Amino acid sequence: MSEILLRPMKAGEEEKRNDLAYASYVEYAAGDPNHRLAQRKNYGLLCRSDPRMRPECNRLLFVDGELASSITVYLWPIRFRGGEILAGLIGMVCTHPNHRRRGYIRMLMEDVKNFMRDSGAAVSWLYGKESVYGPCGYATFTDYSIADARDFLQPAAGVTMRPVELGRDYETVKNIYESWNAKTCGPVLRLDGDWKNRVLSEKSNYGGLDRYRIIEDNGRTLAYCDIMADELRTVGEFGAVDEQAAARALPVIAREVGGTIQFAFDSEKLEKSVALAGGKLGRKQSPNGMWLVLDGKKLGLDPKATHEQLTGLLKTERFVYYYADHF
């Protein structure tokens, strides 16, 4: 019988964990050497860029002394009802091909849930298959709201768009993010390390300095946005000085993306800004991850709140999650 050991990662074991992740995921590159999963250097990138990451946030499972499975937990504070709660975000779940279908991930998930609770997390979510994570207590949040906006007024004279310049615009973008999202449920409380190493980094898997734009009125900053590289040129993040400034900025964004803005989120502030800009707002519900309540009391719910209670809360609070903060 094999000897199984579960324990936190120790300092200095990062490359061993990255080797495991590479062996686990490289097959999904389908032989394309340019695919990010085919490039060993990309593994562990998010861990290295996370200013809150500690070795023990990586949970390891060994079989007869050999590293077989691992899970990484990103412990990020998110905004909630004017304050914050701690969320446990699950990423880089991997099992070596030689050790698959033996239940090792389910074993690790129990360790991970205990670690997140001991760390003070109120809620956890991940992106994966229900067949794998459903038995671990996770269930899909099916009613995440995303929006689209069209039929704006013509952009006002003097309102223009340009790329974000890190040295010139960093403090402005960061301050707009803080003020615009102060009462929004969901956005991460970003540290300088989050901004510089991940959101506005040229090496990020989900953010990227090249995607961010500043919208100005004769040189005065109105707003910023993240225009993603997908076919629809989806706006993955948006913030403005205020709703009036947003209303002046949105028609310029619409012109840039081809007329209709597809947003990867929805919010009350966005709704008001679109109306002020003379636009029409549409919305639909979309799945967004699989969720687990860790401590319902911290959410204002029963200590052992159900998934239905959690998703009802997320819908009521109009939960927002920006694309650059994916994991």
Beta-sheet pairing, 144-150 with 235-240: unpaired
Q: Mean pLDDT in the chain?
A: 95
| Average pLDDT over every residue of 53-58 | 97
**pLDDT greater than 80 at residue 102:** yes
Give the homologous superfamily in CATH for domain 145-286: Gcn5-related N-acetyltransferase (GNAT) (3.40.630.30)
Strand ordering across the sheet containing 280-286: 261-262, 144-150, 280-286
CATH of 4-140+288-319, one of 2.30.38.10, 3.40.50.2300, 3.40.630.30, 3.20.20.60: 3.40.630.30
- The predicted structure's pLDDT at residue 143: 93
Position 42 confidence tier, pLDDT thresholds 50, 70, 90: confident
Domain locations in the chain? Answer: 4-140+288-319, 145-286
Summarize pLDDT for 71-82 with one digit per residue, the tens: 999 999 999 999
- CA 42, 47, 48, 51 dihedral sign is positive
| Average pLDDT over every residue of 120-128 | 97
